[in-house]
Amino acid sequence: MIPSLGALLDQPAQYFHWTHWIGAQLGAIHAVQETRLLDHLGQEPCSAQDIAASAGLQEDGTRRLLEFLAAEGVLAVDEGGLFAPTDRSRLLQRIGGVNWLAGACAMSALHTGAMLADGEGRNAWTLARGQPLFEGLAENPDWVRQFAEAMGFHTEAEQPRIFAAHRFEPFDLAVDVGGSHGDLMMRLLADHPKARGIVFDRPEAAEQAHEAIAAAGMADRMEAVGGDFFAEVPAGGDLYMMKHIIHDWSDAESIAIFKTIRAAMKPRSRLAVFERIVPADYRPDIAYAFDIIMLHNTTGRERRVADFERLFADSGLRLDRVTDVPGGVSVIEAVPV
């Protein structure tokens, strides 16, 4: 369990250490991502000097960073001070999109005060980079790739819990709105071998999804479609899904998205929204932390069940059921009215 800020403040020395420790951890993650440092470790133990030379980095700082990663249990180090990769370091290499997003969100966090004082109502991401997140994604294919990698890793981590806790009504065609590279759809179709799926996302994301679907050998059951979910989504689906999409958008924008989906639904279609639900009380919960991340980086927010009921009602939908999934996400299903 990640300690709450209140619990840390009850132990001032721990609070002091934590504020510095988290900075060191984020700095290490950012450095690994920016320099590709771990790519320069061989299969056999090697010295910091050799690693720094291979990566084109200065030796002293590289050695100290490698020592920190070893102390954090990411790298192995032998008695001679030689460093070697581990399963953890290989995972850190593999999840580059997560590391990129962590660094990007950290940069936004440092603009929280400026955001609160901004008379134009701009969020921290915009103040840090000069343009909103989704405008940047539309212009930068590398951002799209890394953002999709981060979301794919998140989906991979959540999928086992989601599918263990929630049972979907039978369907022939599912549409994942904002489905990125199609990871969630592939997992869903594995449980429904006679069904088909459409992954719908921005054109630049759909192009990458098309490649991922082909690489997974799923092109006979899945397709990727590009478009704008404020304008139109594929019609005729039995099941529509949105995973961690609505929390990116304001209430007015969310209603507009839901209305677009409602227009595409059949009378017996269902909409499954995967989001964190903010507790009705104020107990420590990861949803509150993600609400601040949304405040920094988007126009959206994390919401309570009553908020979803209201958004659905304003969109021609009705809340039907909520499945709480261990680990923080819930499956919120709505039906047409």
Positions marked active-site: 247
Q: Alpha-carbon distance 259 to 316, whole Å?
A: 7
Residue 135 in 3-state DSSP? helix
Read off φ and ψ for residue 240, nearest 5 degrees: -110, 140
Angle ∠(279,280,283) on CA atoms, nearest 5 = 55
Residue 258 · residue 315 · CB < 8 Å: yes
Residue in 271, 305, 274 with CA at minimum distance from that of residue 159: 274
CA gap 138, 136 in Å, rounded: 5
Q: How many whole angstroms separate alpha carbon 299 and alpha carbon 255?
A: 13
The angle formed by the CA atoms of residues 99, 103 and 109, to the nearest 5 degrees, is: 140
How does strand 76-77 pair with strand 329-336?
A: unpaired
SS3 176: strand
Q: How many alpha carbons lie under 13 Å from residue 310 in its C-beta half-sphere?
A: 7
CA distances in angstroms from 206 to 70, 89, 200, 225, listed in the order given: 39, 30, 7, 6
d(CA 322, CA 319): 8
Q: Give the residue from 257, 280, 261, 263 showing the smallest Cα distance to 271.
A: 261
Q: Is 60 exposed, middle or buried (0-12, 13-18, 19+ CB in 10 A)?
A: exposed
